[in-house]
A = this chain, B = another copy of it.
Amino acid sequence: MEIEAATVDFEPIFALDGKLKLQSQVELAGTQCAYQTYGTLNADRSNAIMICHGLTGDQYVAGTNPLTGRAGWWDHVVGPGLVLDTDQYFVICTNVLGGCLGTTGPSTINPDTGQPWNMDFPVFTVADMVDLQVHLIDALGIDQLFAVIGASMGGMMALDWAARHPERVFASIPVAASWRHTAQNIAFHEVGRRAITADADWHDGAYRGLGVKPEKGLAAARMVAHITYLSETAFQEKFGRELPRDSKLSFVLDPEFEVERYLDHQGKTFVQRFDAASYMYLTRAMDYFDLAARHDGDLAAVFKGVGTRFLLVSFTSDWLFPTAESRTIVRALNANAADVSFIEIPADYGHDSFLIESATDFHDVLEGFLDGSARRRGLKP
């Protein structure tokens, strides 16, 4: 059963003293960050792994998500004896800046007005999300993360951590990621935002308190995004042109193909757990991501002198963040003689392959890299 976000206590919450200075130069007061931890921080605080979630992910990577009542999104990866072994590592996952599960964002209260920020919330970037996490590990007394790992938007964060705070990250693992959002990906995001703002219940983003939510538009946005998370092969194998009940067409405009019913379900469950305004801002943050921009397009300059170890992972059928994007990053790292591993995993499931429990090749690669890095870091004999 779904539970209203408003009724969940998002504990623990880190409250930032002072203001968070955003990339836009706006200074945000009263910033809070909801997070979850798994495992135990060791005595010298050297075994922390920061997991950065994707666009619509959340801090509940393992155990039961209190909002959905279902297992966390990486429950098969994070836990005792699992790939991210919480018997060894102290795993942290934050709800990112602008999210809707306890961290400051458009759905939280603007301290200046006492009203929800809604569309008055400042536009922020992936770097701003990372900087809030930096403040959190400062507060936790962690000088250096053992690893930062993330896929998709989380992969952008893993790259940004290593690019701007290399001394704070021993190992960075960007998965199914890119060094910048492409024109086509910006285009898909813009379509999603348009579907939301076309919704009768959008009310210019001020729907909170009106008893409505732009659910149809947000569902359509989720649906188009979900198509980009799969692959043509996955769609063909999962659904083809199958009809649910019998082999006869009904000649209707309503969903009748299995693929439509699946997308419909994806849209409906998504709007129960996610806020439309957050979706607007978070997609925009991804659009703005371009690691090379602050170095006049020179990606190699981004990683000059970086000491962080890298593992980059891509998936063969991922057309949203295709392998070529990862290769470009690897070349930039190689130009700096950085310590970098890269693997393209054969997988038919598209961009979302990183979420799949059966992606054992991926999990083996992760585990091997973490083991080696742990020995290098002195966490293991």
Chain A residues within 8 Å of B, Cβ to Cβ = 23-24, 26, 119, 122-123, 125, 180-184, 186-188, 190-191, 193-195, 197-200, 214, 216-217, 219-220, 223-224, 227, 230, 232, 235-236, 238-241, 249, 251-253, 255, 257, 259-260, 263-264, 267, 280-281, 284, 287-288, 290, 319, 322
Contacts and interface: CB of A to CB of B under 8 A. Distances in A.
Contacts of A224: 188, 191, 224
A122 B251 contact: yes
Each complex incorporates copies of this chain amounting to: 2
Nearest to A262: B187
Contact of A257 (B194, B220, B287, B322): B287
The dominant DSSP class at the A interface is helix
A123 B183 contact: no
Nearest to A260: B190
A180 B249 CA distance: 14
Contacts of A319: 232, 319
B249 A288 contact: yes
Nearest to A203: B200
Nearest to A233: B184
A311 to B, nearest CB: 25
Contact of A183 (B26, B240, B288): B240
B235 A184 contact: yes
